[in-house]
Structure 1
Amino acid sequence: MTKWFGLLAIVAVAHAQGRGGSSGLAMLRFGCSELSIDRIDPLVTPGQIPSPHVHQIVGGNAFNASMPSADISELATCTSCTFTENFSNYWTASVYFKARNGSYKRVPQMVNDAIGAANGGVTVYYTASGKGQATAFKPGFRMFSGDALRKISTGLGRNTQSCFRCYTGPNFQGNVQSPCFDPKLDTEGFPTTPCPGGIRTSVIFPVCWDGKNLDTPNHIDHVAHPVGGPASFAVTNGQCPTTHPVKIPQVHLEIVWDTTKFNNKEDWPVDGSQPLYLSNGDHTGFAQHGDYVFGWKGDALQRAMDNGCFAATCTAANLKTQAFPAANRCQVKKSVNEDYDGWVKELPGSDMAGMA
């Protein structure tokens, strides 16, 4: 916890010195417990059951294979996130370990640093530079970050929008620098050696919007990066292009994978190569991606961004929260009857190879 709050202090100082605009930096950071592990994807393959690969999903219980372009907050009755007015959904590809005998097992998620008694899940950030510096999303808004077909590096260095941190020991040892900034512990692809404390995935979304479309066919074209390139973690003061002039909060997802159970090199491939796969079949890690459907109630998110809300509570914006025992109870029954926890001969959906 000390390391995480130290990181926040560094971020706050950077913004106060001009990197992030006004001194009213807002940064929500909160946990969302596992809502479901399932092979459905209402963005990329709406209505298709099963979808090509497994996702781990958090957020409101309105999540299903066909989510309407409506106000999701009016459809959900509970959320697995600690902010009770947040019925948004967030999902990413799962991670699998491939043993030397060729069988696969899904890597379990574990609770992130300084989150609390969550049931695995995802840590979510929303960041804005100050009051009036970001326009909250509108009902029906959705977007995608990453490329499920990528097999090579983006070459963006510290400004990559997806990276993996290799913890050096238990209790998040090595968690010192900002996400994707550590030259030794952060990699755009999967770490190539065992990670003693597990692995954290970061997925960062664009911060500019065209101001018109709540979605586009590829779920990407209505959003964009600043003219200077993708924004790194918590730096949201870049100038938006004229085609996408509206600054939106920076959404950032973190998932921690408990790979410690798979660190025995005798179980790794004979050639010593890393044994991890994304659930879409990617062996590099470059194809990690994230999906987002907005579902905050009313103006709750706008109030949070305009009132300098920080971390997991915000009295200034009167945001309501719940403890994890309540958040953990919000779940959605899986749509596809598959084994997502035992050893399997093939990745679920391997018969749909080539689909995103």
Structure 2
Amino acid sequence: MAPLFIIGTVVLASVLSSTTASSVWTLNCAPLTQARLDPILAPGVWPSGHVHAAVGSTAFGQQMNGTYGALQGNATTCDKFTDHSSYWAPQLYHMRSDGLFDLLPFTGMAAYYENYTCDYNASAPGWCVGTRNPRAFPPGLKMLAGNSLRRTQNMSDPWQQAILLESGNNGEVYGMPPKLDGNQLSGHVRFPSCWDGSNLDSPDHQSHVAYPDASLGGNTQGGMCPSSHPVALINIGAEFGFALNGVTDPASLVFANGDTTGYGFHGDFYMGWENTTALRDSFAECFTNDNCPWRAFGSPTGRDPVATAMSPMVQPPYEDIGLNGPIAKLPGNNPVYSA
């Protein structure tokens, strides 16, 4: 899907009407912060290994932890006002010819919330048939999609299939796009949509969730869950955007983790939706001018929700990460990968 990055306007991928239900709706989030913070991999720690660009709950920070950590935020940068979830991904930099690094502006995140996954059914295994009813995320669910250390592509691994990049509207690709349009690069993360039904996290932050079963016709965007993770959740396809400021050479781009291949892009999700009933019912058939469930978290008035840039409630300690000009090395002194 092409990136949206629409600030101030709600875009529905499937238009709701009095006779049809939506299988996809979108969430738009303005930037919150860029900092060496990672409440999943490094809770309570500053600095973490590399700079992340974050959106969502203003609670995002080193002390955000526990089932209701993200819900402690007093606001959200996202256009659905009850979504106090946190979403973050590695920051993008430009390697200059003089050896310095320019931080490229983070433009925010657009996400597709999708009704494409169904519970495992031992009596009728296969692609989901009929109505799918994925559950809302349990409070406090944490998950990581992608692997910061990866530098190659294995197309048989759904965890690797779930990470793509796109420049402009030239189509998603695995790894760094071979051509840049000079305007924007977006990192696409398809989060797992199957859950083991009990654990909110796991030591690797991935084992408690999974992608739909490929042997049953599923893929990273939907299908029947495997028996090991039988509970279907809403699919999230998140797109993190960065302005290229005229950069057209993909070989000059590097993510904050030192990755020049694009294969090491990744995304984190920390559940913080306040109204899980409305989230669960957000794909139900309803009237656009009635008390439609998605309007219950669209805005306080149910109209014209707006994504708004904010700052975290607690600012991280100061570190020069390149917000005020070029820097001599990647924050954390992360080495730039060279094949």
Q: Residue in 2 aligned with 1:243?
A: 228
Once residues 335 and 62 of structure 2 are traced to their aligned partners in structure 1, the CA distance between those partners, rounded to angstroms, is 17
CA RMSD of aligned residues (A): 3.4
Once residues 114 and 47 of structure 2 are traced to their aligned partners in structure 1, the CA distance between those partners, rounded to angstroms, is 34
Deviations 1:305-345 (A, max 9, x none): 445799xx995104233467773245445313122322001
Deviations 1:64-123 (A, max 9, x none): 1132222246412111111111100000001111011111111113xxxxxxxxxx2111
Which secondary structure state, in structure 2, belongs to the residue aligned with residue 124 of structure 1? strand
Once residues 93 and 291 of structure 2 are traced to their aligned partners in structure 1, the CA distance between those partners, rounded to angstroms, is 40
Which secondary structure state, in structure 1, belongs to the residue aligned with residue 37 of structure 2? coil
**Letter matched to residue 110 of structure 2:** T
Q: CA deviation at 1:199?
A: 1.8
* Paired residues for 1:1-356 under 5 Å: 8=13, 24-72=21-69, 74-109=71-106, 120-129=107-116, 133-155=133-155, 160-167=161-168, 172=169, 174=170, 185-228=171-214, 231-232=219-220, 235-236=221-222, 238-263=223-248, 274-298=251-275, 299-307=277-285, 315-317=291-293, 318-322=295-299, 327-329=308-310, 331-339=312-320, 340-341=322-323, 342-350=325-333
Deviations 1:191-213 (A, max 9, x none): 23332442222111111100011
**Letter matched to residue 290 of structure 1:** G
**Letter matched to residue 54 of structure 1:** V
Listed as ranges, the gaps of 5+ residues in structure 1 are 13-22, 110-119, 175-184, 266-272
Which secondary structure state, in structure 2, belongs to the residue aligned with residue 187 of structure 1? coil
**Letter matched to residue 134 of structure 1:** P
Which secondary structure state, in structure 1, belongs to the residue aligned with residue 61 of structure 2? coil
**Letter matched to residue 336 of structure 1:** P
The alignment of Structure 1 onto Structure 2 pairs a total of residues equal to: 304
Once residues 198 and 302 of structure 1 are traced to their aligned partners in structure 2, the CA distance between those partners, rounded to angstroms, is 33
Of Structure 1 and Structure 2, which has the larger fraction of its residues in helix? 1
After superposition, the Cα gap between the structure-2 partners of 1:292 and 1:203, relative to the gap in structure 1 and judged at 3 Å, is same
- Whether the 8 Å CA contact 1:27–1:309 is kept in 2: the answer is no
TM-score normalised to structure 2 length: 0.79
Once residues 287 and 58 of structure 2 are traced to their aligned partners in structure 1, the CA distance between those partners, rounded to angstroms, is 25
- Whether the 8 Å CA contact 1:207–1:249 is kept in 2: the answer is yes
- Whether the 8 Å CA contact 1:206–1:231 is kept in 2: the answer is no
Which secondary structure state, in structure 2, belongs to the residue aligned with residue 202 of structure 1? strand
TM-score normalised to structure 1 length: 0.75
**Most deviating of 147-156 and 36-45:** 147-156
Q: CA deviation at 1:260?
A: 3.7
The percent identity for this pair of structures is 28
Once residues 108 and 316 of structure 1 are traced to their aligned partners in structure 2, the CA distance between those partners, rounded to angstroms, is 36
- Whether the 8 Å CA contact 1:197–1:260 is kept in 2: the answer is yes
